[in-house]
Amino acid sequence: MSSFSSSSSSGARGRSALNSNILLVLLAGVLSLLFAQQVATGWLALGERLNISRRDFNLLELVTIASGALWGVFALWTALGMLTQRAEVTVRDYFDEGGPMPAGVRFAAVNFALISLICLLIAIQVFTGWLPLGDRVNIPRSNLNFVEWITIIIGLFWTVYCLRTAVGIWRRERPAWSWGQWALLLMTMGGMVLVVSGLFDIQRMLSSSRASSILDNFSGFLLLMMPGVLLTLASLAAYRDITHDYGDVRTQKAITGTLAERARARDIASKRVPAGQAIRNRLAASPGAGAIIGFVGLFMAFSVATDLFLEPQSLAGALTNNITRGIVAIGATMLMISGEFDLSVGSLLGIGGMTFMGLITGQFPPGIQPMHPVLAAVTSVAFVCALGYLNGFILIRTGIPSFIVTLSTLLMYRGLPLVFIVGGRTLRYVDYSNEPPLVDISRILLIALAVLGALALAFVGRALISARWADFRARWANLTQDDGDFRYLAAGWSGLFIFLTVVMVAALAYLLVGSVIEQISLISQGSPFLEISFFDVLNGRITSLPFIGEIPRDVNFRVGVVWWLVLVLIFQFVLTQTRYGNATFAVGGNAGAARAQGINVNRVKITNYVLVALLVGFASLLDASRLQSIDALRGQGLELEVIAATVIGGALLTGGYGSIIGALLGVFIFGMMQTGLVLIGIDARLFDAVIGGIILIAVIINNWSRRIR
């Protein structure tokens, strides 16, 4: 085709994005041909090549050459077709008006058929044991392990899904347009994961062999990179080509006019949103978009980068090391949403731990008798709360910005441990007592707690199951009337969800009943009290889990993790479901409007300062219990880490916006970085630098996703 026609057709389409699409397809085709050429010339050897001369190709190589060449030609042909296509040929016409098939749609349909075939082959290979996956030590080939079963199930599902989509596109079925978008988006992401894992493998290859650059082992490089690169390029190009006229952009952008007109326009547009935009909208609805993307991205990156990351030891360590940070971040988020922040949390943590340790050992305040651990815990938390109240009180009374107020108290509060724990000494519990701080817990109390838990479970479980059941029934009944593109998937997911809910509720009920029976039998055996170390109640090592069994010694999984997650649930509930949570948002979002609606702004702020202090106090108990010691500088630097986690989680420094779940993910990101960077062998001194970069990226993503709304 002449350059004239190409420029006129692209000009008529008027979208430069489409030109880059052609380039993507072109690139994919050229790479595929290159790959086939490398195999055909014998430079890139595949399969088992013992005692075969370079010119004798084995079956795998022959198949690769043929399919690589064919697919490459097909991609080039598609690129040519896209280039010469008339402007009237659009995807919308193809599906809605019975117009001719655009080259991009044909490309997508053929690739779906191919992917379907490949998935089927992989599933069969795994099922027959030819392709072993996961840990296969001492397992006969015919016994499939968990990873293999999952792979087979996903492989078969994807086979059916892609085949159905290919057929649907061929038969101009309107829902197939939407199915295809989601599948292509997922495959683009999958291709990117393959690329990343290929990069890690190359790095490993370079460090293990004597090769100094990828040029020394170019065919190996091709082999590792090609599947991911081809999948990414082809899926991305097809995705962009079939989505570009999905949904009416003009309607979507109709933001002038009356409320009613806009509402109608948006109503129409909202039903036809491309998959990528749908995901972005969903992310924009939650404050922690950056945290969600960061969490998923880092989790996948570390999982493919090192096998050690998904080991229980690593995950438990990542959680256990962040209990303190996680609990304090909950409070910091509440406070930041109400428009203030607290730099003194690190010092408060030090004071809390020191008071608790000092009281149970009789070292602080000077000249007291060792106190009962429970009393000591309550006293120290109350003391920290009083100091938190002081923060809020000074802020409200003086009107000085919270940065200055809490910067001052950060320095002032730190003075207390520095004075009382003299000269860099560490106050260790074992130096003062030979036995742990034992407490006697009445088994009657335990039974009462279990009964209370059972009541709560019955209440929540009933509500949850009946709501899910109604949802499932409605979906099932409307399956024929529903015009949603994913009604079968949604109904299936709804069914799976109700099944899982029932299983979880049943398991919890079983545990509660079992523990009540056990406690009753122990009482009847003449043991009315449970004697246990208070340190273990707060933050002991969990040695075994119900339904899972013994936890190995080297997995450091602590009770504090459970406390942390429970607190996250409680405060998420308070923030999103109660009047107090609403008031917190309003105070930070627009104090004047909140005051005008009768909210006592000062009281909300002071309450949040006390809540932060309460959480810091509790966290200090867990921290002291884990290490069973306290030193004068405990908690230094905590304030900035916590603010970082909160901001990654989507809270605005200016107040009025944020989420507890976001802060949880922010802390998870911290934990993953600590563990993951060590595991992939990056210098630990770079940790802070990497965290800094992540904060910046997360906040940029958060701002970007907020603007989409």
Partner 1 sequence: MSAGHDGPLVEMRDIVKVFGTINVLRGIDFQVDRQEIVGLLGDNGAGKSTLIKILTGVHTPTSGQIIFEGQPVHINSPQDARALGIETVYQDLALVPLMSISRNFWLGQEVTRRIGPFEVLDKEGMAERTRQALLDIGIHIRNPDEQVGSLSGGERQSIAIGRAVYFGKKLLILDEPTSALSVGETAKVLEYTKAAKARGMSVIFISHNIGHVHKVADRFTIISHGQKVGDFRKEEVSEMEVAGMVMTGEVPERLRLVPASAGDD
User: Considering the complex, what minimum distance in angstroms separates the CB of residue 261 from partner 1?
Assistant: 9
Cα–Cα distance list, 6 to 79, 227, 256, 264 (Å): 12, 30, 36, 38
- The answer for residues whose C-beta is within 8 angstroms of residue 627's C-beta and 6 or more apart is none
| Binding track over 400-439 against partner 1, x by CB under 8 A | ----------------------------------------
| Binding track over 535-574 against partner 1, x by CB under 8 A | ----------------------------------------
Which of 538, 583 has the CB closer to partner 1? 583
Which of 553, 579 has the CB closer to partner 1? 579
Which of 349, 701 has the CB closer to partner 1? 701
- The answer for residues whose C-beta is within 8 angstroms of residue 600's C-beta and 6 or more apart is none
Helix axes 559-577, 312-320, angle to 10 degrees: 60
Radius of gyration of the chain (CA): 31
Q: How far apart are CA 672 and CA 317, in angstroms?
A: 9
Q: How far apart are CA 380 and CA 352, in angstroms?
A: 6
Q: Does 6 bind partner 1 (CB under 8 A)?
A: no
User: Considering the complex, what minimum distance in angstroms separates the CB of residue 473 from partner 1?
Assistant: 19
Please report, as residue ranges, which positions from 248 to 287 form the binding site for partner 1 (by CB under 8 A): 258-260, 262-264, 266-267
| Binding track over 575-614 against partner 1, x by CB under 8 A | --xxx--xx-xx--xx-xxxxxxxx---------------
Count of residues of this chain found to bind partner 1 when the rule CB under 8 A is applied: 32
Which of 153, 566 has the CB closer to partner 1? 566
Q: How far apart are CA 522 and CA 544, in angstroms?
A: 20
User: Considering the complex, what minimum distance in angstroms separates the CB of residue 252 from partner 1?
Assistant: 14
Q: How far from the centroid of its chain's Cα atoms is residue 69's Cα?
A: 39
Q: How far from the centroid of its chain's Cα atoms is residue 50's Cα?
A: 45
- 525 exposed, middle or buried (CB, 10 Å; 0-12, 13-18, 19+)? exposed
Which of 52, 452 has the CB closer to partner 1? 452
Q: Does 128 bind partner 1 (CB under 8 A)?
A: no
Please report, as residue ranges, which positions from 625 to 684 form the binding site for partner 1 (by CB under 8 A): 652, 656-657
Which of 159, 646 has the CB closer to partner 1? 646
Token code pair at residue 168: 């649907």
Q: Which of 43, 157, 403, 459 binds partner 1 (CB under 8 A)?
A: 459
User: Considering the complex, what minimum distance in angstroms separates the CB of residue 614 from partner 1?
Assistant: 19
Strand partners for 532: 439
- 699 exposed, middle or buried (CB, 10 Å; 0-12, 13-18, 19+)? middle
User: Considering the complex, what minimum distance in angstroms separates the CB of residue 455 from partner 1?
Assistant: 9
Q: Which residues of 483-503 are buried (b: 16+ CB within 10 A; e: fewer)?
A: eebebeebbeebbeebeebee
User: Considering the complex, what minimum distance in angstroms separates the CB of residue 181 from partner 1?
Assistant: 24
Which of 17, 451 has the CB closer to partner 1? 451
- The answer for residues whose C-beta is within 8 angstroms of residue 91's C-beta and 6 or more apart is 102, 104, 105, 177, 241, 242, 244, 245, 246
Which of 15, 595 has the CB closer to partner 1? 595
Q: Using CB under 8 A as the criterion, which residues of the chain lie in contact with partner 1 when the complex forms? A: 258-260, 262-264, 266-267, 456, 459, 463, 577-579, 582-583, 585-586, 589-590, 592-599, 652, 656-657, 709
